[in-house]
Structure 1
Amino acid sequence: MEGNRSHVVVVGGGIAGLTAAWYLRQGGEHVRVTVLDGAGRIGGKLHASEVAGLPVDTGAEAMLVRRPEGKDLARAIGLGEELRHPGTAQASILTRGALRPMPKGQVMGVPSDLAALASSGVLTPGGLARVPLDQILPATLVTTDVSVAAYIRARMGGEVVDRLIEPILGGVYAGRAEALSLDATMPRIAAVARSERSLLAAARKISEEAPKDAGPVFATLRRGMGSLPEAVAAASGAEIRTGVTVREMHRTERGWRLVAGPVPAPEVIEADAVVVAVPATAAGRLLAGEVPKAAAELSRIEYASMAVVTLAYPRAAFPRLPDGSGYLVPPVEGRPVKAATFSSVKWPHLAEADPDLIVLRCSIGRLGEESLLQRDDAELVALAMAETAEVAGVRGLPRDSRVTRWGGALPQYNVGHLDRVARIRAAIATQPGLAVCGAAYDGVGIPACIATARTAAARILDHLDPARQWQGRTETLSRGEDDGREPAAQGA
């Protein structure tokens, strides 16, 4: 502590760490915040760079609006006028040889309307005939967490899993329904699974209760979601240091001692409190010495890798403009591209910036497809070009292209994830002046990461000055009803 000022170190300069720093600084001038990140820039997976002269996101391109944390933070730091909404949210599924519309009324892929499911053509006649058996089958008892595939297959059959659930979960987590937790990835479905016999009826109830005029589902920023981290950092007033890797953390009588930098020339940093905002694997290494129970649980969270190939074509290359925002691809199709977004169609501000340009983003890679990602950039671009030529009829070469690789980017919320997170937090709670936040815990979407940052900041502020009610002050950005475990797909 310097005079009357407490020093808080945030390890990790992604959106969670930067937002934690911003919330900490809302606690007043008595808090000094330093953000340390081992990379050469802040922002983590939120980053934008130019493609054919337009700023296009390299990672997540949107945030859910039904959770207010993201848009409210943007407004609080002066980016309210930068918010943009999609021109269309109509997504398709590339299945059975054609682009087919996402069935109306689906809930994270779970159908609620048999007529809409039939008219979409997503399932084969046999697969379609299996779905209504859900209404007469005995109840499927769900007393503990199970995989998404196990429960939905038991109720509606394998085709719903293969051709509806898998592409959506692949877009969100780059994961597999056989391993992903029903409780963690589909909390609304999990809740009704414990009380309703029919999944179809439960999905219909969820769909009917959804607000009919809730406005746009997604939002982005005019210069891309990649512009958010820099704005948060500037608004926080924190000291931001990049290229500084924290290697060790040790508890002291007054707080924490961090060891950063290269082994031959270590830098020791003293802190009254620490927020660990790095991915689970790195967090586990940092906490192994002082909080071994949390570290052991963190080390068990698996991560998937992926790549985003961005292509910019002249408008004339398209025989006709795509109708929707993009499409998702089921793994059973055996295609390398798992999702594609027609960015210039989805986001009108991109089309307005250059009406003669069509920008597409193709997502490549799911869990277990690491060999696909070992191909060089030129090969990945060629795969994406072949995909757009086949599906959208694109002719000729793109004006520009970009390949962004995200190694170990997406945490897998496998069966038992919620219990694992509870054990991590219970272990962290034994350590005063320590908090964690980020995508590994309560949701991989931007609003969910912001919510974990708010919780972490409140814990630290309560520790530094328990006489003040910081918990209330750090909740000035309203909570949403949705818990953020159903973020926007990376593709469509």
Structure 2
Amino acid sequence: MAGSPETTRPHVAVVGGGIAGLTAALEVLDALPDAHVTVLEAADRFGGKLRVEPVAGCVVDVGAESLLAVRPEAVDLARRVGLEGDLVTPATTSASVWSRGALHALPRGTVMGVPTDPDAARGVLTDLEVERASAEEPWHGGELTGDVSVGDYVARRLGRAVVDRLVEPLLGGVYAGHADRLSLRATVPALWERAVRGESLLTPVPARPGPSGSEGGAPRSPFTGVRGGVGRLPLEVLEALRTRGVLLRTDAVVRGLERAGSRWRLVVGSAADPVALEADAVVLAVPPTPASRLLADLAPVASRALADIETASMAVVTLAVRRDGLGDLPGSGFLVPPVEGRAVKASTFSSVKWEWVGALSSDVVHLRASLGRAGEEAVLQREDADLVTLAVADVGEALGWPLPPVVDHHVQRWGGALPQYAVGHVERVGSVRDDVARLPGVEVAGAAYDGVGVPAVIASAARAARGVTDHLMSSTTSPGGPR
């Protein structure tokens, strides 16, 4: 009713209940504690691509299992929701590349696989390939003036083998994409900055200092994890939102967004039984395709740009194998270059990489294998049992011995999970934000914009929340503002 407390509080609707949407809701409440916030998630659960599930009776990550610690956003959020005491560093960061039938140590000091010392990549690269990389060639015309693909730029300067054997497996691990299509500017900004300055790609990377008080100032891992799983992060954010009165709805498909005077009307539910929900501001924290549909009539330039962002699907196969007969696992896992023609693109030895996983069971060891790259969805059309068989075969062959019997497994499919940052992505995102800026109180967030890693997604959510709260606070001081 008019004049009731509910109608005088600004209402913010967040579309999407992954870590972006949940973070946006939390940020809005921090800035406007009296706001009424609703989070609408189309799936039957919150959390997006951060998820834990039991495998052989042990709860482990089946989505992202580490956070980039050299950016503060994810670690800061974990601390805000009470996980500071459970932040952990990897027990080992020694990874390998499965290339030409053998595991080779991944060279240290690379920038997305580009070695600052080509000789350190010997083994992954042949002697001739090392010589070619060492004889760095200039880009056509010297300094770079416009965006190019990672593959084109690195191949021109250091040789094709560096792309095929080192850059591709690392990009595949992050984006499930291909170097010849991914934007240098958007995916490897450190190399982009060198390129526009005309600098050598072989410039050494400054060493990160060790943690305070660490013995000998040993290099610090760029990653951190959460004891009990990174999938705990959205669950703790969710609990914080519940305690603050946020309305949390699953199975809530948002089918339309339209103006309602000075407010916004969202059409929620099935096509046969739609329900209208009005809000003073809206955060669209959904993948590019649904965001494009919702913006089609309101912001056609943004809608078209979002529709042009392709996505890649992947699957994570988690295996629990008997500890007896497994032998010593080499480091934290391995990456697989696409030129090897394998189904598996990477494997993580979770029980070795994370002490908390290794301590879960005295009988089994947990391993992960990921499958699926952009444009190569055929492997993901296979049944779960086939993916498990492929994972077991490839991991065993890489190790050089068959895996012990599988006690349990879990297959997690992530359809359209990873946006592909094609050449021109930064300009594309700029056009999206410029067009959406014409819609007062509407913001966008998620992995499609400024980075697919968890910290970057959280940063996009904070940015969207600031836009929403700035709009609401300015509106409340002007006539006709939010009720």
1:382-397 matches, cutoff 5 A: 382-392=389-399, 393-397=401-405
The CA distance in 1 between the partners of 2:250 and 2:136, in whole Å, is 53
Partner SS state of residue 111, structure 2: coil
The CA distance in 1 between the partners of 2:39 and 2:156, in whole Å, is 47
In the alignment, what sits opposite 2:376? 369
The percentage of aligned residue pairs carrying the same residue is: 50
The CA distance in 2 between the partners of 1:340 and 1:18, in whole Å, is 29
The CA distance in 1 between the partners of 2:136 and 2:389, in whole Å, is 43
| TM-score, L = length of structure 2 | 0.93
CA-CA distance at 1:196 after TM superposition: 2.7
1:240 aligned onto 2:217: no
CA-CA distance at 1:221 after TM superposition: 1.6
1:324/1:468 Cα in 2 relative to 1: closer, same or farther (>3 Å)?
A: farther
In the alignment, what sits opposite 1:78? 82
Q: Is the 8 A contact 1:317 1:394 kept in 2?
A: no
CA-CA distance at 1:218 after TM superposition: 1.3
CA-CA distance at 1:28 after TM superposition: 3.1
Output the amino acid matched with 2:472: L
The CA distance in 2 between the partners of 1:18 and 1:138, in whole Å, is 45
CA-CA distance at 1:428 after TM superposition: 0.9
Q: Please, which of 233, 236, 259 is the counterpart of residue 251 of structure 1?
A: 259
Q: Which runs of 5+ in 1 are unaligned?
A: 470-492
Give deviations 1:129-185, integer Å, cap 9, x for gaps.
211221678764411000001100010000000000000000000000000000000
Give deviations 1:25-79, integer Å, cap 9, x for gaps.
1123321100001100001111110000111111111111111111111111111
The CA distance in 1 between the partners of 2:248 and 2:51, in whole Å, is 17
Partner SS state of residue 321, structure 2: strand
1:403 aligned onto 2:403: no
In the alignment, what sits opposite 1:303? 311
CA-CA distance at 1:211 after TM superposition: 4.0
1:337 aligned onto 2:344: yes
Q: Please, which of 100, 104, 109 is the counterpart of residue 100 of structure 1?
A: 104
Q: Is the 8 A contact 2:208 2:220 kept in 1?
A: no
In the alignment, what sits opposite 1:472? none
CA-CA distance at 1:355 after TM superposition: 3.0
1:319-338 matches, cutoff 5 A: 320-338=327-345
Output the amino acid matched with 2:371: I
In the alignment, what sits opposite 1:133? 135
Q: Which runs of 5+ in 2 are unaligned?
A: 211-216, 478-483
Give deviations 1:364-403, integer Å, cap 9, x for gaps.
1111111111111111111111112212224432100111
1:187-206 matches, cutoff 5 A: 187-201=189-203, 204=204
Q: Is the 8 A contact 1:140 1:155 kept in 2?
A: no
The CA distance in 2 between the partners of 1:342 and 1:43, in whole Å, is 24
Q: Is the 8 A contact 1:166 1:177 kept in 2?
A: yes
Q: Is the 8 A contact 1:138 1:197 kept in 2?
A: no
Q: Is the 8 A contact 1:140 1:154 kept in 2?
A: no
In the alignment, what sits opposite 1:222? 227
In the alignment, what sits opposite 2:457? 449
Q: Please, which of 202, 206, 209 is the counterpart of residue 208 of structure 1?
A: 206
1:325/1:468 Cα in 2 relative to 1: closer, same or farther (>3 Å)?
A: farther
1:411-490 matches, cutoff 5 A: 411-466=419-474
| TM-score, L = length of structure 1 | 0.91
Q: Is the 8 A contact 2:95 2:105 kept in 1?
A: yes
Partner SS state of residue 406, structure 2: coil
The CA distance in 2 between the partners of 1:107 and 1:425, in whole Å, is 29
Output the amino acid matched with 1:362: A
Partner SS state of residue 474, structure 2: coil
Partner SS state of residue 465, structure 1: helix
Q: Is the 8 A contact 1:140 1:197 kept in 2?
A: no
